Structure 1
Amino acid sequence: MPPTTRRPLTATGAVLATAVLAVTAVSTDASAASTITVAADGSGNYTTIQAAVAAASTGTVITIKAGTYQGQVNIPSSKSGITLQGATGTSGDIVITGNKPQSTAGTQGSATVLNLAKDTTIKGLTIQNTYAAHDSQALALYAGGDRQVYRNVQLKGYQDTFLSWGGTGSAQVRQYVYKSYIEGAVDFIYGNGALVIDSTTIRSLDRGSSNNGYITAAATNASNKFGILITRSTLLSSAAAQTVALGRCWHAGGAADAIGQVLVRDSNLGAHIRQAGAWQDMSGFSWKTCRFSEYNNTGSGATNGTGDRPQMSASTASGYTSQKYLAGADGWNPVQP
């Protein structure tokens, strides 16, 4: 079984020191351009995504041609306002892949894409971490910047696929995921950000067990009203019926004020979702210490009336929309109709 506790969210110095990899540019005139093309075969400005990120400035669009790109892509906080997009519009054509676990690389170091920049957009590509052992976190995406948009992306991993993290305390980042695909088995959508997952397919992997894992692990600070929202989405799996939990309560680092908030609404839930025990305890903390609820879901995994699946009222749900999760103090609204 996977561990029920987590190591602290710290990066290794070696990862940060080597984040910008030494690469060979095909040409050197792209640094001042507003558009940059990456192609592994040498037909673009650069052969690696990391080199293109290093050359980018605010407003730069990095178009990535079809292919598989190995190794971590690090988008530091200084690279705000850039776009990474697949060239074909088919997310499976462009694959950014890694195989590092947290146990050896640290949480940030394990992430195939480490995105710490605000106002970034990533679309039309796949991000995956192929490390699938049960002994460690292994992130596909670490989303650590505010006002990030992910559209038509595939996020694939096993344990802790996708982290939304704004740091300790009440600081919070916002991310919007739209018409995408997220895959994993254990706590694979997690963190303390204000994260909206909209019109997306969420697949739980089959571990061949009576416990086939947990979809979310929220650590929302008690001072923040909004945490993780899954809306207009489809939750599916080939796992046995009633073996997957919607989530569990992650008090990150044992913090008493990590009172996770998750709402699953207006979504279709497959038969793999537990009826009893849809929300689970974690590391000695009861799920009832967190803010978990559902609203207006359908499908064979929607509640049949068990007492441990809190349902939000319609009047309350009107205040828990995608727009409200993401608005913040600046009124940010990337939500698609």
Structure 2
Amino acid sequence: MPASHLARRTVLAGAGLLVPGLALAAPRYDAVLWRGEGRNPYGAPGYRSLSKAVAAAPANGARPFRILVTRGVWDEQVVIDKPFIHLVGEDRRASVISHLAASGLTAPDGKRWGTFRTPTLFVRAPDFAATRLTIQNAFDGLAEMTKPGGLHSHDGAGPQAVALMLDKGSDRARLSEVDILSYQDTLFPDAGSSLFERCLVTGSYDFIFGAGRALFDQCEIRSLVRPVDPVEGYIVAPSTPIDQPVGFVFHQCRLTKSGATKPGSVYLGRPWRPSSAFPDGRYGDPRYVGMSAFIDCWMDDHIAPEGWTEMWYTGKDGNPRTMLQPEEARFSQFRPRGPGVGPFKRGRWLSSREAKALVAAARL
């Protein structure tokens, strides 16, 4: 075979392209999501659901188990409970892992879902990776909140609908060119470390929240309109443990908005203090002091000039509306640009040296 033909076959195989007339080997996958009849063209076992593909992976794998997510909507709730599961999408926007669940809706067991049971994808094992696909919670939060008698966030069983949760057991998760879509409480990096590169995250209220360590590098963070509330949104609600120096760090990201989102209506974030049980009662745990920083980010005009704001928690005296101020948390920014840049007096301004060190500390 001429060297030029061999080189061409090598390039095409690496890109995952199947070209009629060329007998090339597809890139190696361990499993393929496949609804077609007969053998799939990728030379790997085919499965009709992601859960079944994950079940086929070794329990304690020491190398990546690569699952090709082919084009289509794969409607299921999935738990990743094995290490080194790597999801590779055939098409970033057409390879979709989807499920519909919201806190206030009734689950199959007859109980309300509650926020922590809603994720489309739970990751509970280390070294998870995903690239070029979409993870979404299909619950239509805007439609629900704008209809008479719809679910509202102040109800306690409202429109919270998580797309992705990095749960206990997750660590070193890496997502690249992934769209993570929902309306409220979209992304829940609650454990371990994670890296999001060139991803899109959409939502309105507290749509990136939790206690984990996460670096968002060159991502788009898109705020969605929320016409039913006076405040249209909060991007982050970190619950970072006080002994953990890094929470959510956004580096060279773009903070964008849907068209109808009002100027100055979205805060960078507010500090979430979850409750824990103590000998003298259950109340907001002082060990959680949220940390987040926006470094070298472009911001559209929807960002509130104060930057950061307060958030309620249950006080030791039982008052459910005790307020945790942003000055009591660890919120900061460095060199923002764009029409949404304000004085951000409620967050700390970092020096160049501090910003560089913080990005380095957030990396995997």
Q: Give the TM interval when normalised to the shorter protein.
A: 0.7 to 0.9
1:197 aligns with 2:197: no
Q: How does 1:69-108 map to 2 (within 5 A)?
A: 69-76=74-81, 79-87=82-90, 90-103=91-104, 104-108=112-116
The 1:306–1:136 alpha-carbon spacing in structure 2 relative to 1, beyond 3 Å, is closer
> Out of 285, 290, 296, which is 1:255 matched to?
285
Deviation at 1:39, TM superposition (A): 1.6
One-letter identity of the residue aligned with 2:118: S
1:137 aligns with 2:160: yes
The 1:277–1:108 alpha-carbon spacing in structure 2 relative to 1, beyond 3 Å, is closer
Deviation at 1:281, TM superposition (A): 2.9
The 1:229–1:277 alpha-carbon spacing in structure 2 relative to 1, beyond 3 Å, is closer
> Out of 117, 120, 124, which is 1:112 matched to?
120
| Structure 1 equivalent of residue 130 of structure 2 | 122
Deviation at 1:286, TM superposition (A): 1.5
For the residue of structure 2 that corresponds to 1:324, the secondary structure is helix
| Structure 1 equivalent of residue 147 of structure 2 | none
Deviation at 1:34, TM superposition (A): 6.1
Aligned-residue CA RMSD (Å): 1.7
Deviation at 1:316, TM superposition (A): 1.9
1:68 aligns with 2:73: yes
1:307 aligns with 2:327: no
For the residue of structure 2 that corresponds to 1:91, the secondary structure is coil
Q: Matched residues in 1 for 2:65 and 2:311: separation? A: 44
Do 1:194 and 1:227's aligned partners in 2 also have CA atoms closer than 8 Å? yes
Q: Matched residues in 1 for 2:93 and 2:293: separation? A: 29
Q: Matched residues in 2 for 1:34 and 1:93: separation? A: 19
For the residue of structure 1 that corresponds to 2:354, the secondary structure is helix
| Structure 2 equivalent of residue 227 of structure 1 | 247
Q: Matched residues in 1 for 2:119 and 2:127: separation? A: 19
| Structure 2 equivalent of residue 55 of structure 1 | 56
> Out of 234, 237, 246, which is 1:217 matched to?
237
Q: Matched residues in 1 for 2:262 and 2:210: separation? A: 27
How many residue pairs match? The answer is 283
Higher-Rg member (1/2) = 2
One-letter identity of the residue aligned with 2:255: L
Do 2:326 and 2:347's aligned partners in 1 also have CA atoms closer than 8 Å? no
1:38 aligns with 2:33: yes
For each residue in 1:45-83, what CA deviation from the matched residue of structure 2 results, as whole angstroms up to 9, or x when unmatched?
A: 11111100000122211011100111201111xx10121
| Structure 2 equivalent of residue 245 of structure 1 | 267
Deviation at 1:108, TM superposition (A): 4.1
TM-score, length basis structure 2: 0.74
> Out of 166, 170, 179, which is 1:154 matched to?
179
Deviation at 1:306, TM superposition (A): 4.9
Q: Matched residues in 2 for 1:279 and 1:179: separation? A: 27
The 1:106–1:307 alpha-carbon spacing in structure 2 relative to 1, beyond 3 Å, is closer
Deviation at 1:136, TM superposition (A): 3.4
Deviation at 1:130, TM superposition (A): 2.2
Deviation at 1:231, TM superposition (A): 0.9
Q: Matched residues in 2 for 1:188 and 1:307: separation? A: 23
For each residue in 1:284-305, what CA deviation from the matched residue of structure 2 results, as whole angstroms up to 9, or x when unmatched?
A: 21122110010011101122x3
Deviation at 1:210, TM superposition (A): 3.6
**Further displaced range: 143-152 or 37-46:** 37-46
| Structure 2 equivalent of residue 279 of structure 1 | 309
| Structure 2 equivalent of residue 163 of structure 1 | 188
Deviation at 1:260, TM superposition (A): 0.4
Q: Matched residues in 1 for 2:357 and 2:205: separation? A: 29
Q: Matched residues in 2 for 1:127 and 1:285: separation? A: 32
Q: Please, which runs of 5 or more residues in structure 1 have no aligned partner? A: 1-32, 167-172, 327-332
TM-score, length basis structure 1: 0.80
One-letter identity of the residue aligned with 1:37: V
For the residue of structure 2 that corresponds to 1:279, the secondary structure is coil
Deviation at 1:181, TM superposition (A): 0.4
| Structure 2 equivalent of residue 320 of structure 1 | 358
Do 1:248 and 1:282's aligned partners in 2 also have CA atoms closer than 8 Å? no
Q: Please, which runs of 5 or more residues in structure 2 have no aligned partner? A: 1-27, 41-45, 105-111, 145-151, 153-157, 276-283, 314-322
The 1:199–1:217 alpha-carbon spacing in structure 2 relative to 1, beyond 3 Å, is same
For the residue of structure 2 that corresponds to 1:105, the secondary structure is coil
Deviation at 1:277, TM superposition (A): 5.2
